Amino acid sequence: MSENSQPEPSGTTHAHLAGEVIGRHRHDYHQLLYVSAGVLAVHTDEASWVASRARAMWIPAGTWHQHRVHGRSSVHTLGFAAHDILLRSGAPVVVAVDALVRELIIACSEPSLPQQEARHLRAVLRDRLRRALVAPLTLPAPGNSLLRQACALVTDDLGQPRTAAWLARSIGVSERTLARLFRAEFGMTYPQWRTGVRVFHAMVLLAEGASVSETGRHCGWATTSAFIDTFSRTMGQTPGTYRIAPGG
């Protein structure tokens, strides 16, 4: 989509196959992006997010981003004029999608929706979005070269329980320095970051059809029950429920 294109008032709905990539682009309007089936990983130069059935992405106007589809996905997009400030954030954010917001987004993204009906539905959606909970499953992109190296060592083999001590030795720094790097760049501890990475990749694997036990093992949980507990606390639903939810 061209960076100078205008949003379609009626929104858009597209079906995508697993593995499809929508290349780096930007819009001169804000975009609300939601997937009613599958998972969409959204990447910018600063971070990565996951849009799923429970979480939509708000992408501010002018933000360069790209998408990767995981699992067969139904993607709904709505454009909002740059002066239409619904969520006061200069960076992309993830918002929680409840049953009402889900149905509003799907309805508003129907290309054949009459304009008057679209205006009424969007008015309700605006009200709901202004008080939507931000769901903070975000993977920041490391800027520091040592931190990039450390993160790559972990993400390249999530099945291995990499400790902070092992990671620090591998990149030639002390544990104290490693902890400082994670705090300074990400505002979180190494264990917090690693949990986010594992849940992020678990969502992708589940969307692609992997079983709960297989997903937990691949992402480094010692037991399936430990995976279920962590995923449930992070996502607000069990991985089994997430995997078989309607539309998935």
Both tokens assigned to 185: 């760049």
Candidate ranges 1-10, 20-29, 66-75, 164-173; pick with highest mean pLDDT: 164-173
- Residue 145 — pLDDT band, cuts 50, 70, 90? very high
Per-residue model confidence (pLDDT) at position 86 = 77
CA distance 95 to 136: 8
Please tell me which residue, 104 or 138, carries the higher pLDDT value. 104
Q: Model pTM?
A: 0.67
Q: Judge whether 95 and 135 are in contact, CB under 8 Å.
A: yes
Q: What is the predicted pLDDT for the residue at 236?
A: 73
* Within a domain: 102: yes
- Residue 4 is assigned to a structural domain of this protein: no
Taking Cα atoms as reference points, which of 185, 116, 104, 199 lies closest to residue 149?
A: 185
Give the domain range for residue 75: 12-138
Report the distance separating Cα 119 and Cα 1, nearest Å.
24
Environment class of 141 (CB within 10 Å of its CB; exposed 0-12, middle 13-18, buried 19+) = middle
Residue range 146-166: mean pLDDT, rounded? 93
pLDDT class of 204 with cuts at 50, 70, 90: confident
Q: What is the mean pLDDT of the chain?
A: 86
Domain end position, chosen among 138, 167, 194: 138
pLDDT attached to residue 132: 76
Which of 87, 111, 138 marks a domain boundary? 138
Residues facing residue 70 across a β-bridge: 39
- Per-residue burial over 11-28, b if 16 or more Cβ lie within 10 Å, else e, is bebeebebebebeeebbe
Indicate whether 5 belongs to any domain: no
pLDDT per position as a tens digit, 124-136? 998 888 877 666 5
Task: Name which of 63, 233, 235 is nearest 137 in CA terms.
Answer: 235
Over 50: is that where the pLDDT of 228 sits? Answer: yes
Residue 137 has pLDDT above 80, yes or no: no
The confidence band for 2, taking pLDDT boundaries of 50, 70 and 90, is: very low
CATH number at residue 134: 2.60.120.10
Per-residue pLDDT tens over the stretch 169-184 = 999 999 999 999 999 9
Same-domain check for residues 109 and 167: no
Residues 146 and 58 in one domain: no
Q: Which residues contact 140 (CB under 8 A, 6 or more apart)?
A: 46, 47, 185, 186
Q: Report pLDDT digits (tens) over 49-66.
A: 888 777 888 999 999 999
Q: What is the mean pLDDT of residues 10-15?
A: 82
Please give the average per-residue pLDDT across 7-35, as a whole number: 84
| Helix or strand (DSSP H, E) at 229 | helix 224-235
Q: Are 93 and 160 found together in one domain?
A: no
Domain count, the chain: 2
Lowest mean pLDDT among 113-117, 128-132, 151-155: 128-132
pLDDT tens digits, residue range 82-103? 888 777 777 888 888 888 999 9
Residue 197 one-letter amino acid = V
- Are 150 and 110 part of one and the same domain? no
| Claim to verify: residue 77 and residue 99 sit in the same structural domain | yes
132 and 24 co-located in one domain: yes
- 6: pLDDT strictly greater than 80: no
pLDDT of residue 94: 83
DSSP per position, 109-147: T-TT--HHHHHHHHHHHHHHHHTPPB---EEEPP-SHHH
* Residue 162 belongs to some domain of the structure: yes
- Token pair, residue 243, equals 């995997």
Backbone angles phi, psi at 232, to 5 degrees: -65, -40
Residue 90 to residue 68: CA distance in whole angstroms: 22
Which pLDDT score is estimated for 73? 85
Q: Which helix (H) or strand (E) holds 12?
A: strand 12-16
Residue 76 lies in a domain: yes
